[in-house]
Amino acid sequence: MEEKIDYIKLASNKPKGKRPYFHDDPAVERVLNITMAIAGELAVMRERMDSIERLLEKKGTVTREEIETFVPETKEQEEQRQTWHAEYIGRVLRIVQQEQEELENPDKSIEEIANDINEM
């Protein structure tokens, strides 16, 4: 058995079973998946920057080892970091939330509102 494995390729393997698609056009889903992967990497970068900034603030200098091992040191820092994730996801998935709100409270179109206003 090979000891050296191509972990990058293997990590992205497909599981058994035909992949379910939910959008009518698979291209939409493809772009969505790529977009979400980028969204994830931006979150990772933001968390890394957060670590660097906090360390720089704390010490004035920073080493690679310090960055690799940095974890939130207070409850407040933990909450700030997790809050950032919640805000970030809320921002990126804005349209989904707005569509849900529209479903809960069906609204008139702006054209209809314009007609209403015209009578006001």
Extended beta strands in 50-114, E state: none
Nearer to other proteins, 68 or 111 (CB): 68
Scan residues 28-47 and list those touching other proteins (CB under 8 A): 28-29, 32-33, 36-37, 40, 43-44, 47
The backbone torsions φ and ψ at residue 75, rounded to the nearest 5 degrees and listed phi first, read -55, -40
- Rounded distance between C-alpha atoms, residue 108 and residue 64, angstroms: 55
CA geometry: angle 69, 75, 79, nearest 5 deg: 90
Nearer to other proteins, 96 or 114 (CB): 96
Nearer to other proteins, 49 or 114 (CB): 49
Which of 56, 83, 108, 114 binds other proteins (CB under 8 A)? It is 83
